Structure 1
Amino acid sequence: MPTIKEIIRDLAIAAYKIGSIFIPVKDNVILFESSNGRNYTGNPKYIYEEMVRQGLDKKYKCIWSFQNPAIEIPGNGEKIKRSRFKFLYYSRRSKFWIFDSRHQYYLRKNKKTKYIQTWHGTPLKKLALDMEKVNMSGHQNIEKYRENFAKNTSAWDYLISQNSYSSEIFKRAFAFDGEMLEIGYPRNDILINENNETKINEIKNKLGIDKNKKIILYAPTWRDNEYYDSGVYKFATEMDFNAMKNALSDDYVLIVKFHYLVKDKINWEDYGDFV
């Protein structure tokens, strides 16, 4: 028997599907989302910030979907709470969707809406339909996983790729037959355009890092079999941070960046200024 919560959810989705038929697209509205609304980052962030730099945030109504709308963003973008009424409204009202992860299964894209999927990584591991087994928080039905993935990617009109290597894998792994935009990742432009001492020192000042120290970035992916609950993943690592501190802290600082699916909150105080 479905729970009351599930019944309410299903009724809300049904109402959305019926009501959305009567919401027309507006050409100047763009819906942005990164990391399933968990943060402000990645390719959508840098596409949006280039629009802000060019003043296009005044020409277009830029809507950002967040799980926590308290997140600060530059420019004239409007922040809305993910999965609430405004989010559902703008999912139908927007001329463009710019997401870097799969959209929610119940969303219905207007026929006039163009969906630009930027994705969020380089396929150095098996993805989506290329996967032979799956263990998503204990869910191991690979056929169902592939079916859901293919249903999601069928809505994508454009897909951004970093290079020809990624393009070929993305086409196959995502069963993607839309237009591939092999233009490089917008989030990586900063590594070339702002790779200078002034910008590097700005970042070090912002993070309180000694200007004379070098930085090591540790940004591991997630492990699908290391989890607390469905969709709640652990920070799984074999790194010995104590050994790293003892060997490297005189000359280096370590920045640890979790994957967006990892929900751990780790206290790094024991490592002082090293982490």
Structure 2
Amino acid sequence: MVWSSFDGRFSDSPRALYERLRAERDDLHHVWLVRDELRHTFPTDVTLVTSRTPEAARALESADLVFASSHIEVEWEKKPGATYVQTWHGTPLKTVHWDVLWAPEGKLEQLDRDVQRWDLLLAPNPHATHFLSQAFRWEGELLESGYPRNDVLAAPRHDARRAEVREALGIDPGTTVVLYAPTWRDAEGYDTSLDVPVRLELEQFGEALGEDHVLLLRAHNMVAGRWHVDSHEWLRDVSLTPPDVADLYCAADVMVTDYSSTMFDWAVTGRPLLYLASDLEQYGSVTRGFYLDLWPEAPGPVLRSTEELLAALGDLPAVEQEYAARYAAFRERFTPHEDGHATERVLRHLGLIG
């Protein structure tokens, strides 16, 4: 079995599925594709092969089962009888694949070669089922299972995971943890020569809230490692480690995002959700495009500046009260299967556990 998450991380739904299989069965051989700079984030007993290499292609071509959370960007030929499960990695608010407003010439055709290898596509909710099928022109098997990666958010082990992650990050008890997890801008992701700004004024945050808050910065996988931030007691750049964003969902008390699908996963926690969306119109009409006009019914305030964000963070009980009805409707629509048992549903569907 070969596992791939975001081209070389130990994370996401593939990790949740893998860990459950390792706990239940000892008769399977597992190989993970890895980015070399992230080898230290994998367990020491895992067989690793560098992604996007001839060795990765050979591992994939010998596999009976392949799991991935995104496209595998290496050319390989799936052997007869093998099964490729595409877990994907988020409920789509922004457009995906053939629906995007722009992509580099030939990029979608390249990625589509991977889509043609898929045998099963996972989706977390009816909205995702519809738009992922549309975006990928998918007519194969689809399982609306919920996301295995989110099981930890609903399971009894959430509290223990929360304590472990906060301790590992050196966060004192009683500190309010703010997770900032925005999406990427396509031009920045495809052109690595461009600077990637943090679209939140960090010094303003520190001056206003640094005494009793910690800010966790989680860049999108496409631009991770390209933020350049100064070191502060109240700041942690967690873009590369821990490898799994679910750890940060457990650790945080409030999330700030923009157009990232992290909003849908975060909603499982029921904790406050704020939007810092200074380029909303540009992103929706030029940069990428949206599948729905979420903003009039957003489950949290849509803010245009760091000043507005700091004001909202300063009175979270008022935010929660004002947006309670919207938040409940959002969860009902987008998290109907996030009950802590998605991993089990997927593995049973594949006949891998009894």
Q: Is the 8 A contact 1:223 1:233 kept in 2?
A: no
Question: 1:47 is matched by which residue type in structure 2?
Answer: L
Residue from 192, 199, 203 that aligns with 1:238: 199
Query: Structure 1 CA distance, aligned partners of 2:175 and 2:217?
Result: 16
Q: Is the 8 A contact 2:57 2:74 kept in 1?
A: no
**Other-structure match for 1:52:** 22
Which structure is higher in strand share?
1
Which structure is higher in helix share?
2
Measure how far apart 1:151 and its partner are. 2.9
**Other-structure match for 1:66:** 34
**Other-structure match for 2:214:** 253
Residues 56-77 of structure 1, C-alpha deviations (whole Å, 9 max, x = no match): 2x21100011121733434853
Residue from 121, 124, 130 that aligns with 1:162: 124
- TM score, norm. by length of structure 1: 0.77
**Other-structure match for 1:272:** 233
CA gap 1:231/1:92 in 2 versus in 1, 3 angstroms: farther
Matched, 1:33 2:35: no
Query: Structure 2 CA distance, aligned partners of 1:88 and 1:259?
Result: 26
Unpaired segments ≥5 residues, structure 1: 1-29
SS in 1 for 2:65: strand
Residue from 60, 65, 82 that aligns with 1:96: 65
Alignment length (residue pairs): 234
SS in 2 for 1:116: strand
Q: Is the 8 A contact 1:253 1:273 kept in 2?
A: yes
CA gap 1:246/1:195 in 2 versus in 1, 3 angstroms: farther
Query: Structure 2 CA distance, aligned partners of 1:84 and 1:150?
Result: 19
SS in 1 for 2:196: coil
For 1:134-149, what aligned pairs fall within 5 Å after superposition?
Answer: 134=103, 139=104, 141=105, 144-149=106-111
Q: Is the 8 A contact 2:65 2:82 kept in 1?
A: yes
**Other-structure match for 2:98:** 129
CA gap 1:76/1:192 in 2 versus in 1, 3 angstroms: same
CA gap 1:180/1:133 in 2 versus in 1, 3 angstroms: same
CA gap 1:83/1:164 in 2 versus in 1, 3 angstroms: same
Measure how far apart 1:255 and its partner are. 0.9
Residues 32-89 of structure 1, C-alpha deviations (whole Å, 9 max, x = no match): 011112x2111111111122232x2x21100011121733434853112224443222
Matched, 1:172 2:140: no
Measure how far apart 1:233 and its partner are. 6.3
SS in 2 for 1:245: helix
Higher relative contact order (CA 8 A, sep 6+): 2
SS in 1 for 2:30: strand
Question: 2:35 is matched by which residue type in structure 1?
Answer: Q
Query: Structure 1 CA distance, aligned partners of 2:35 and 2:72?
Result: 14
Superposed CA RMSD in Å reads 2.2
Matched, 1:108 2:77: yes
Q: Is the 8 A contact 1:222 1:236 kept in 2?
A: no
Unpaired segments ≥5 residues, structure 2: 237-354
Residues 174-199 of structure 1, C-alpha deviations (whole Å, 9 max, x = no match): 11111111111111111111465443
Identity of aligned residues (%): 25
SS in 2 for 1:212: coil
For 1:186-205, what aligned pairs fall within 5 Å after superposition?
Answer: 186-194=148-156, 196-205=158-167
SS in 2 for 1:80: strand
- TM score, norm. by length of structure 2: 0.61
**Other-structure match for 1:14:** none
Measure how far apart 1:209 and its partner are. 0.4
